Amino acid sequence: MTTRRGLFVAPFDSLADPRVVGDLAATAEAAGWDGFFVWDHLQYGERVSAIADVWTCCAAVAMRTGRLLFGPMVTPLARRRPQVLARQSASLATMSGGRFVLGLGLGDDWVGEFSAFGDEPDPKVRGRMLDEGLEVLTALLAGGPVNHEGPHYVARAPGFHPAPAVPIWLAGRFGNRAPVRRAARHDGFFVIGLDGPADLDAVTAGLNEHDPAPGFEVVVDLQPEQDAGEWLDRGASWVLTRIGPFDLDLAEVRRIVEAGP
């Protein structure tokens, strides 16, 4: 297995400008990175004062690159309308020639990001909304038709015109069984909270219980100073280098990106 390397970029403060994010993505592609994934948040505590919109950033990345895979990593489906998200994803997949990856998860209310805006604060409810929303979203991306009526979403549509395929990677914290089961039904698992490379053995074992499809991706992220080498042969198909979230110095960010994987 060839492990690919990407960047996991928080578009905060000095990076809270889609033009800057687009420039960084173009630099990343030239430096040999394989992917460029953008955080999706509305607020991130008192240490972050400005945040760029993830979808505008993804459009900038799509227009400034020709090879990189990219996408939100991750967007909480519970605060999105699946039919709108399907249109956004299909448009970005078309714009980029099939390079768009849709990262989805529960999200976290640790700074009141959900409750502050009247979104669902209970993670168990958000989990049920995620599962139901995935049914609607995947049906729409496949071209439908869709006839769904559930406790959280209603969708009755003849279907959307099929776009290039949109891989879906689900995020989840290491040790929780529900995210593993959910991810195995789709295209990848972005594992959060690993203590070390050896934890990937448990991740792989858990996924294999649910028989993921060939080509399934296992994704981890590391700090820039961490050695990626020890992760490369332990079952991760993507190792991302984290940029952010705090005290982002643009010159230092550019140095990390320009250095390549």
- How many alpha carbons fall within 13 Å on the CB side of residue 18? 14
Average pLDDT over residues 42-59: 96
Domain ranges in the chain are: 4-259
- How many alpha carbons fall within 13 Å on the CB side of residue 57? 26
Average pLDDT over residues 226-243: 90
Per-residue pLDDT reduced to its tens digit, 81-122: 999 999 999 999 999 999 999 999 999 999 999 999 999 999
Q: What are the C-alpha distances in Å from 165 to residues 27, 35, 156, 254?
A: 26, 17, 22, 31
Of the two residues 235 and 22, the one the predictor is more confident about is 22
Question: Which stretch of 35-39, 142-146, 168-172, 255-259 has the lowest confidence by average pLDDT?
Answer: 142-146
Is residue 39 within 8 Å of residue 73, measured between CB atoms?
yes
Structure confidence at residue 160 as a pLDDT band (50, 70, 90): confident
Helix axis angle for 18-31 and 250-259, nearest 10°, is 30
Structure confidence at residue 162 as a pLDDT band (50, 70, 90): confident
Secondary structure (H, E, C), 104-130: EECCCCCCCCCHHHCCCCCHHHHHHHH
Average pLDDT over residues 57-86: 97
Q: Which pLDDT score is estimated for 161?
A: 79
Average pLDDT over residues 61-74: 98
At residue 191, does pLDDT exceed 70?
A: yes
Q: Which pLDDT score is estimated for 23?
A: 98
At residue 178, does pLDDT exceed 90?
A: yes
The structure tokens listed for 85 are 């998200």
Question: Which stretch of 160-164, 199-203, 234-238 has the lowest confidence by average pLDDT?
Answer: 160-164
CA–CA separation, 183 and 8 (whole Å): 19
Average pLDDT over residues 10-24: 98
CA–CA separation, 105 and 15 (whole Å): 23
The overall average pLDDT reported for the chain is: 95
Q: What is the CATH code for 4-259?
A: 3.20.20.30
At residue 1, does pLDDT exceed 70?
A: no
Q: What are the C-alpha distances in Å from 44 to residues 8, 17, 129, 211?
A: 16, 16, 23, 36
